[in-house]
Structure 1
Amino acid sequence: MTHTGILLPALVAHRGYSAAAPENTLAAVRAAFEAGATWVELDVQLLGDATPVIWHDADVARCSDGRGELKSLDLESAKRLDVGAWFGDEFAGERMATLDEMLTLLDELRMGVNLEIKVNKGRDAIALVDTVLPLLMEKMPADRLIVSSFDLEALRRCREFAGSQTLALGVLFGAVPGQWQAMCEGVDAYSVHPDWARLKRPQAEAMVAAGYQVLCYTPNDPAAFEPRWHWGVNCAITDEPVAFKRFLDHRDRA
């Protein structure tokens, strides 16, 4: 397992501060920073013209004023979409962020990022990695970067691409499979990212014992999540970093 020098915070803001701003936007990352978060989790995919953008869904219907699949858009048409007004009037005019724009902002704010390589159905995992990784490794210091994915092919390609350079990889799971450890070892993973609601205590303890950092997605109720800290979970990737911080501060004072 690669030693990365990462100082992992207890809280990572999911898709930016997505309870307070439109997810996966520059505005959401600024909101996370202003709320005191030091790390964010974001998703990256390719447009039809191979521009890497920060976006979660296979299409644009849910989080923009447009319709259609991401793979059918080029940068010019993607940039015409309003990706903020759906969330609130004050975000009207927000534009889809390219990976390059997002990395520039993260650098300016000195924030860390857990970037998910989002391989939606029918999309090419290798093309995505080969486009994203050069930019990522040029612009983000290794101690402020975790690259995660549900897609093992993508993670294997990331490991291959990094070669002798330090790169923290995280393996995402819904329900944790029996062979989770072999899957993590196969990509020399730094961290395991299970669904918090489906993670069982023995699994969490085994992950910790094997030397992995455990980052759970996406708990938004800090009281319901509380027992997981005692299982050795390192980090909550949450839409509600402020509510979580308030809860943890209160608990620590008590």
Structure 2
Amino acid sequence: MLPAPPLDSLPPVMAHRGLSARAPENTLAAVRAAHAAGCRWVELDVQLLGDGTPVIWHDARLNRCSHSRGRLADLDRQRARRVDAGSRFAPRFRGEPMASLEAMLALVETLGLGLNLEFKLHRGRDPAALVDTVLPLVERCLPPSRWLASSFDRRALHALRRHRPDPHRLRLGVIDKRLPRRWREEVHELGAFSLHLDWRRLREPQARAVAASPCRLVAYTVNQPRIARRLYAWGAASLISDDPLALTDIK
């Protein structure tokens, strides 16, 4: 089993939705591929089906990552089991299931991986229900040093912090497309551990300001070595990448 990092650290690279450049995103296969490639942490998305079952899935709909159609919010556990989440990526992944949170956590725990779990909220979904369902399941499987709860949705982040006021018991990652104007205030209010920003909209002074603060800078989605080198030079603590193998030995 891989050693867990200290509570104050993150790995240099996290595998985005598993090793999504080489396996269908957010699947058990993608996480196994990430582990086989030597990745220490994976970034995954969690949301609820219509019946409240937590699953690992990014989009509000099924269309992009499967041959099924419709909204995730209209599925129950039984119908979700019939979704083929692999063959659209490549024929060899035919029959790869939509991963339940429970199955994914069991795999992450078995492989000794760290987890950056994004709490995904699409329009009309309830952040409190997502947090109330997911948080206890993750905490039963992983210690605070082995996972990070992240989200674009501030309601979800505040709900998480209300459940766990101690930032040493729950590390929060604030995700945004660009650096918020009030980022220092937001980080302070949430007791956030990290700030996750789109590298394409990030400028050097902004990156260095975050890196110099108590908050760690995480940049997404970085797949080019030259970009990775630039971001590390600016002070990024961790990068999220579709293909971490492309960034090997950069830091």
Taking structure 2 as the reference length, what is the TM-score of the superposition? 0.95
Q: Which range moved further: 46-55 or 127-136?
A: 127-136
1:210, 1:224 → 2: CA distance?
22
Query: Residue 210 of structure 2 aligns with which residue?
Result: 207
1:171–1:189: 8 Å Cα contact kept in structure 2? yes
Structure 1 runs (4+) greater than 4 angstroms displaced: none
SS of residue in 2 equivalent to 1:113: strand
SS of residue in 2 equivalent to 1:62: helix
1:147, 1:130 → 2: CA distance?
13
Query: Residue 26 of structure 2 aligns with which residue?
Result: 24
Decide which of 15, 37, 42 is 1:13's aligned counterpart: 15
Task: State the shift of 1:239 in Å.
Answer: 0.2
Deviations 1:17-68 (A, max 9, x none): 0000000000000000000001000000000000000000001000011000
1:6–1:142: 8 Å Cα contact kept in structure 2? no
2:73, 2:8 → 1: CA distance?
34
1:22-171 → structure 2 map (5 Å cutoff): 22-164=24-166, 166-171=169-174
1:177-196 → structure 2 map (5 Å cutoff): 177-196=180-199
SS of residue in 2 equivalent to 1:197: helix
1:162, 1:211 → 2: CA distance?
19
Query: Residue 244 of structure 1 aligns with which residue?
Result: 247
Deviations 1:142-184 (A, max 9, x none): 1010100011110011011124461110000102121111111
1:7, 1:106 → 2: CA distance?
19
Q: Which range moved further: 99-108 or 179-188?
A: 179-188
1:179, 1:133 → 2: CA distance?
27
Structure 1 vs Structure 2: percent identity of aligned residues? 48
Deviations 1:88-135 (A, max 9, x none): 111001000011100000000000000000011111111111111111
Deviations 1:184-230 (A, max 9, x none): 11110000100011111111111122111111110111213321111
User: What is the identity, as a one-letter code, of the residue corresponding to 2:171?
Assistant: A
- The answer for unaligned runs of 5 or more in structure 1 is none
Residues 172/166 of structure 1: CA separation in 2 closer, same or farther (3 Å cut): same
2:228–2:247: 8 Å Cα contact kept in structure 1? no
1:196–1:216: 8 Å Cα contact kept in structure 2? yes
Q: Which range moved further: 134-143 or 33-42?
A: 134-143
User: What is the identity, as a one-letter code, of the residue corresponding to 2:188?
Assistant: E
2:60, 2:214 → 1: CA distance?
34
Query: Residue 218 of structure 1 aligns with which residue?
Result: 221
Q: Which range moved further: 25-34 or 5-14?
A: 5-14
